Amino acid sequence: DVKVTQSSRYLVKRTGEKVFLECVQDMDHENMFWYRQDPGLGLRLIYFSYDVKMKEKGDIPEGYSVSREKKERFSLILESASTNQTSMYLCASSPFRAPLRAGLNTGELFFGEGSRLTVL
Amino acid sequence: SQQGEEDPQALSIQEGENATMNCSYKTSINNLQWYRQNSGRGLVHLILIRSNEREKHSGRLRVTLDTSKKSSSLLITASRAADTASYFCATPALIQGAQKLVFGQGTRLTINP
């Protein structure tokens, strides 16, 4: 079975702290994604990556950055956490070949268990 | 940018009854997917239906797709308490030159014993 592991299920941080959310997948997937999930807003894409050292902005990249130094690991970074970044963060991966350009099917995503971040 | 929208937002039924959730989307798609999320957990893929398919089954799940109406439905038959979860449809959308999955806000399903 595909396994996507997020390093922390629950985190509590203070405003202004730098926060790292780590995600590792074990199925050699090319594509990895970071979403945040908020009540009433659903899942919103923050960043995604279709190859090592590649990254593309999603719908809400402001206040976030990402790192993909190795194929299996995709990190989400909050340079200076703010209270409006309190949320559930979900990492996902998919095996479809990158880039995910128009005309290609977008297949199944495999999600981690989520990281619930509270910023005080 | 919202592509798929689920209806109803919440649904509560008795165990053993059937549950139907609907999803509407805005632009042409090549597939539509349904996911389940148990409270506080990640999403789990349930089923993918391609644009040239009208109906697909997986166990107690039945998904239909009507591309002329840009809508899909998820039917769970003979519901069980373990089916209590949120259900999301997801569709590909072109954003900044790349095709990504966009999720609706979900239907929260409660199965009462």
For residue B47, give the CATH number of its domain. 2.60.40.10
Confidence of residue A88 (pLDDT cuts 50, 70, 90): very high
Here the tokens at position A113 are: 């268990």
| Distance of alpha carbon A36 from alpha carbon A24, whole angstroms | 17
Q: Which residues of A, range 8-67, sit inside 8 Å of B by Cβ?
A: 33, 35, 40-43, 45, 48, 50, 56-59
Domain with B105, as residue range(s), is 4-112
- Residues in chain B with CB shorter than 8 Å from the CB of A41 are 105
**Bond preceding residue B113 cis, omega within 30 of 0:** no
pLDDT score, position A59:
86
Lowest mean pLDDT among A44-53, A62-71, B69-78: A44-53
- Residues in chain B with CB shorter than 8 Å from the CB of A100 are 98-100
pLDDT score, position B98:
64
Indicate the residue of A99, A105, A111 with minimum beta-carbon distance to B43. A111
DSSP A28-69: --SEEEEEEEETTTEEEEEEEESSTT--EE-S--TT-EEEEE
pLDDT score, position B96:
63
- Please judge whether A114 and B95 are an interchain contact, meaning their C-beta atoms are less than 8 angstroms apart: no
Q: How many domains does chain A have?
A: 1
pLDDT score, position A98:
46
Q: How many domains does chain B have?
A: 1
Which tops the pLDDT comparison, A5 or B97?
A: A5
Q: Is residue A85 assigned to a domain?
A: yes
pLDDT score, position A9:
93
- Looking up residue A35, the CATH number of its domain turns out to be 2.60.40.10
Looking at residue A42, its amino acid is G
pLDDT score, position A106:
64
Domain with A73, as residue range(s), is 4-97+109-119
Q: What is the pLDDT of residues B96-109, one digit of tens each?
A: 666 678 898 899 99
Q: How distant is the Cα of B92 from the closest Cα of chain A, in angstroms?
A: 6
- Please judge whether B98 and A106 are an interchain contact, meaning their C-beta atoms are less than 8 angstroms apart: no
**Nearest to B63, CA basis, from B20, B95, B29:** B20
Q: Is residue A15 assigned to a domain?
A: yes
Q: What is the pLDDT of residues B24-59, one digit of tens each?
A: 998 888 889 999 999 989 999 999 999 999 999 999
Average model confidence (pLDDT) across chain B: 91
pLDDT score, position B1:
44
Q: Which residues of B fall below an 8 Å CB-CB distance to A?
A: 1-2, 30-31, 33, 35, 40-45, 48, 50, 88, 90, 92, 94-106
Interface test with B, best of A25, A38, A106 (most B CBs within 10 A): A106
Q: Is residue A8 assigned to a domain?
A: yes
